[in-house]
Each structure stands twice: as structure tokens, then as C-alpha cells.
Amino acid sequence: IFDLNTSSYDDNGINTNTSCGECGKAFTNESARIKHETTAHRHIGNLVCGRCGLNFSSKTMLDKHERSAHTVDIYTCKYCPSTFHS
């Protein structure tokens, strides 16, 4: 049962009780948050990202994180040799 008296909301109206305690990612419901925390942050195997220190429960999750969080796309100007990072 959802109880407004025990729930807290941030300035954007997001229920902070459904935010991940480790990374702050917001979820629409408690079960989604729990699933995220048990798959993304459980320290089984203790796989740590070498760039930011986040822990992951599987090599697949670590690889996915590294591709999405730490990959920088470089674009080259078509009119000059300048390059730009996304």
C-alpha cells in the first residue's frame, strides 16, 4: 500500500523512496528499483569499473556500463581538420 505520509519527493516530484541508494537512478516503482539494485550494484564478484569505481555483479553489466558511460565519440569537421567530442 502506498502511503503518502512515509513517502518523500524531490523538487522534480520524483519519489525518492524509489531512487537507487547507490547511484541515484529514479524508478517508477519499488520493484524496479530493487531489481536494479540487485543486478547493478550487488557486490558479488566485486567487478569494479576502472574509471569511476562503480561495482557490478557481472562482466556483461560492467562492459555495458563502460560502453555507455565512458565512450567518447569524436567528430571531425567536414570543412577543416578540427575534431570535437560529443
Note whether 50 and 66 are same-domain residues. yes
Residue 73 has pLDDT above 80, yes or no: no
Cα 30 to Cα 11, 51, 66: the distances in Å are 19, 29, 26
Give pTM, 2 decimals: 0.41
Note whether 31 and 46 are same-domain residues. no
Query: Residues 21, 37: contact at Cβ < 8 Å?
Result: yes
Note whether 24 and 37 are same-domain residues. yes
Residue 7 has pLDDT above 70, yes or no: no
pLDDT digits (tens, 9 = 90+) for 36-66: 887 776 655 578 889 888 887 778 888 888 8
Note whether 86 and 46 are same-domain residues. yes
Domain span at 30? 1-41
What pLDDT was estimated at residue 3? 46
